Amino acid sequence: MSEKRNKRYFGTDGIRGKVGEAPITPEFILKLGWAIGRVMKRDGKDGILIGKDTRISGYMFESALQAGLSAAGVDIRLLGPMPTPGVAYLTRTLHAQAGIVISASHNPFYDNGIKFFSSEGTKLPDEIEFAIEDELDKPMVTVDSIHLGKAKRIVDAAGRYIEFCKSTIPAKIELSGVKIVVDCAHGATYHIAPNVFRELGATVITIGSEPNGLNINLDCGSTKPKALQAAVVEHQADIGIALDGDGDRLIMVDHQGEEVDGDEILFIIAESRRKTDSLVGSVVGTLMSNLGLEHALQEKGVGFQRARVGDRYVMEILKHEGWLVGGESSGHILCLDRTTTGDGIVSALQVISAMFESDSSLHELKSGMKKYPQHLVNVPADKSFDLAGSDVINQAIRDVEAELGKGGRVLLRPSGTEPVVRVMVEGVEVEQVTRLANQLAEVIIDAQKNK
């Protein structure tokens, strides 16, 4: 039954939107806290954790969630600013009923959202999200005063998570003599990521580490790595690490100032696991993963499977197949042999471990994968337009695929959030890829006019 229902509030990664506009309002978040408390309350588990990133609205929504949970009779444990994967880890190790993260990830400061983790540190299953939405339809009733939830702050949360991150690589790895630039995107990792690498012995230069509530992800972090690229070259660093606002994504920079994206990071980690016979099964990417990743893995004898765009769908395949490594081009990397969710710091440590084990630079490791040129065009499209049912568009796709042959790929994907169709063409030659993508875009525009 649940698969046939449409969720009213939950998206692929919690609930997200602009602050002050439904559903991201104090009133809704108050009741959401109450609804979560009603659904997640379990015997033998110790309260619900709340962590947040650094955007200014986090204070407001933390208080609203706290009030709602207390009204439902659930104890609250406050973590303060904490990366999303840190909340997942602490939810599991502190045996909490659930974990809540107040964050809009890589979005600007004026957005916010709520993400959830189960007691196992994994994202909530659909049936729990539906149950929460069902509770939201009910009138809010406060438990008797004697049963109201209490709140306390976990003062050593950051230290606990730092120690966990360090434990995900062999103890023999010591980073003395290694210079690293860390871009924290003025987000939730500002007080954690630099300390992880410093405590491992590295010389650390930080940027994007002075949050003021309004500058999260502003011209920095994993979505805008140019500042990091410049800093790595300026400081003659060995590597650069760019995280997003809530710390679950990673983009890296090699010593030459060249960007190393999620596909290349995924290749490096998978190849390192393969060499040590610790890679289980195949690697999972998405429909947007570069064809070069697929071919590079195949050359190493490693299988590759594509999921729908979104780490949730990558996780579904990994869990179903019992595999361990997957990720997205955006830098959301899953290493299920290390932790239960995407973790930018842990992923960076896996790459550093691969560098040490192979005695190679990041630049050398990424050269094992040749990226194919991609060209992406966003084409305005009416939501009601039947893209898949258009004979003209389907013929145009076949024509493009025929010209590309086995050395290329075409993807047309309606956006889930905007009235556009994303046209992506990938191939060997930049000029050809660009021409064919624009050609397909024109066909879609004309097909809508002539429908």
DSSP notation for 225-267: THHHHHHHHHHT-SEEEEE-TTS--EEEE-TTS-EE-HHHHHH
pLDDT band at 3 (very low <50, low <70, confident <90, very high): very low
pLDDT band at 1 (very low <50, low <70, confident <90, very high): very low
**Residue 402 · residue 449 · CB < 8 Å:** no
Angle at 139 between CA 136 and CA 143, to 5 degrees: 100
Q: Which helix (H) or strand (E) holds 102?
A: strand 98-102
Q: Which letter does DSSP use for residue 105 in this model?
A: T
Higher pLDDT, 387 or 194: 194
- 273 by DSSP, 3-state: which? helix
**pLDDT value, residue 426:** 96
Neighbouring residues of 226: CB distance < 8 A, sequence distance ≥ 6: none
Task: Report the relative pairing of strands 48-52 and 76-81 from DSSP bridges.
Answer: parallel
Neighbouring residues of 167: CB distance < 8 A, sequence distance ≥ 6: none
**pLDDT value, residue 2:** 40
- 179 by DSSP, 3-state: which? strand
**pLDDT value, residue 146:** 97
Q: What is the arithmetic mean of pLDDT over 13-19?
A: 93
Q: What is the arithmetic mean of pLDDT over 367-385?
A: 91
User: Cα separation of 384 and 104, whole Å?
Assistant: 29
Q: How many helices (H) and strands (E) does the chain have?
A: 14, 18
Tokens of 268: 């490096």
Tokens of 65: 């969630």
Domains of the chain as residue ranges with CATH = 2-156 (3.40.120.10), 178-258 (3.40.120.10), 261-371 (3.40.120.10), 374-449 (3.30.310.50)
Q: Report, as residue numbers or ranges, the catalytic residues.
A: 105
**Residue 307 · residue 285 · CB < 8 Å:** yes
Neighbouring residues of 242: CB distance < 8 A, sequence distance ≥ 6: 183, 185, 220, 221, 222, 225, 228, 250, 251, 252, 253
H helices of 94-186, in order, are 126-136, 157-166
pLDDT above 90 covers what percent of the chain?
Answer: 89
Residue 40 has pLDDT above 90, yes or no: no
Q: What is the reported pTM?
A: 0.93
Residue 183 has pLDDT above 60, yes or no: yes
Residue 208 has pLDDT above 50, yes or no: yes
> Which own/partner pairs from 154-158 qualify as long-range (CB within 8 Å, at least 24 positions apart)?
154/49, 154/77, 154/78, 154/79, 154/90, 154/94, 157/51, 157/79, 157/80, 157/82, 157/86, 157/90, 158/82, 158/86, 158/191, 158/192, 158/195
Terminal-to-terminal C-alpha distance of the chain: 35
pLDDT band at 413 (very low <50, low <70, confident <90, very high): confident
Residue 134, phi-psi category: left (phi > 0), alpha (psi -120 to 50), beta (remainder):
alpha
26, with CB counted inside 10 A (0-12, 13-18, 19+), is: middle
**Residue 182 · residue 197 · CB < 8 Å:** yes
Tokens of 310: 């979104």
- 386 by DSSP, 3-state: which? coil
pLDDT band at 11 (very low <50, low <70, confident <90, very high): confident
User: Cα separation of 16 and 32, whole Å?
Assistant: 13
**pLDDT value, residue 6:** 85
**pLDDT value, residue 328:** 97
**pLDDT value, residue 45:** 67
Residue type, 195: N
**pLDDT value, residue 44:** 58
- 345 by DSSP, 3-state: which? helix
Mean pLDDT of the chain, nearest integer? 95
Tokens of 89: 């880890």
